[in-house]
Amino acid sequence: ATGDGVVAITAGVGSRAINDLVAETVVFTLSECCGSGFALGSTQDIIFDPGPLDHFVVSGITDPTNAGTAVGISVLARDQFNNTQTFFTGDVVLTSDDVAATLPTPVTFVAGDNGFKSLPASVIFRTTGTWFVRGELSTDATKFGVQTNIDVAPGPLDHFDLTSVNDPHNAGTAQ
């Protein structure tokens, strides 16, 4: 916090601006200085809450991962100074450039979430490649976050198909 210094008290009233970029509790102490004769001291906790929602942090997706494998994702609401926006409530819509991916949407934040949602085993990429997942506020596309460069490899062999087989077929003849 900034704002320390001498507070001039006139007719029993004084003021001092205090600024803080971190959402935290700061101890403010007022005591006698400079032989003023001020006889009392006082300490007060001042709580700095986070600012309004500025963006999201989308993270936690295992990288690399395999197509068809369920992986977790986390979404964190932040203010302009990167403090967790603990009072955020609303819906975050998740999208990916892997158009075949399965994503939880919307992600609904309620008061008890404190600006953080963790969704285990909730994202499934279906296509090999390098992808992103973007989370944006459902009511304001300028409030978003992205996890990028997620490498997706082929999943394990699930099955294979035989085609162009004549049935019945004579033993000893090529097809």
**Residues of the chain above pLDDT 90, percent:** 59
pLDDT in tens, 105-154: 899 999 999 999 999 999 999 999 999 999 999 999 999 999 999 999 99
- Among candidate residues 122, 106, 132, the one with its CA nearest the CA of residue 69: 122
**Residues of the chain above pLDDT 70, percent:** 82
As beta bridge partners, residue 47 has 25
CA distance 122 to 74: 10
- In this structure, are residues 119 and 80 in contact, taking their beta carbons and an 8 Å threshold? no
pTM of the shown model: 0.76
